[in-house]
Amino acid sequence: MSGKECFTLAGLVKKSGVSRPSCQYYIVLGLIPNAGKNERGWTLYDNESIRATRLAKELTSSGFQTSEIKEIYNKLNTKIVENKFLSMPIEDFKRWLRSKGIDIKH
């Protein structure tokens, strides 16, 4: 945790622009990585957490199921996925995911 900015759930909500209930849902599903705990035992988040939260929101808004997002996150780097998602039409993105062995149902 040293050297990088970390914050609590409230900070994650504020910095990601994603609602608290959505953030909590993504956390419960294991989609959002954390950066450890502070001295009070509170879970901390970092910039990778923000990236994963925003991307999860964008993917769900585009019709991806959370099970698909979890598979994407487990197999691929979120920065690469984000770059691909933002740089191509959704159908091309789905084809790219399938080429990486991700089972997309829609």
Residue 106 pLDDT > 90:
no
Q: What is the pLDDT of residues 43-80, one digit of tens each?
A: 999 999 999 999 999 999 999 999 999 999 999 998 99
What is the rounded CA–CA span in Å between residue 46 and residue 12? 8
Question: Residue with structure tokens 């149902």?
Answer: 105
Strand partners, 44: 36
Residue 45 per-residue DSSP state: B
Q: Is 3 helix (H, G, I), strand (E, B) or coil?
A: coil
For the chain, give every domain's residue range: 9-99
Q: What is the pTM of this model?
A: 0.88
CA distances to 11, 21, 87, 93 from 73, in Å: 22, 20, 18, 15
Q: Does domain 9-99 have CATH number 2.60.40.10?
A: no
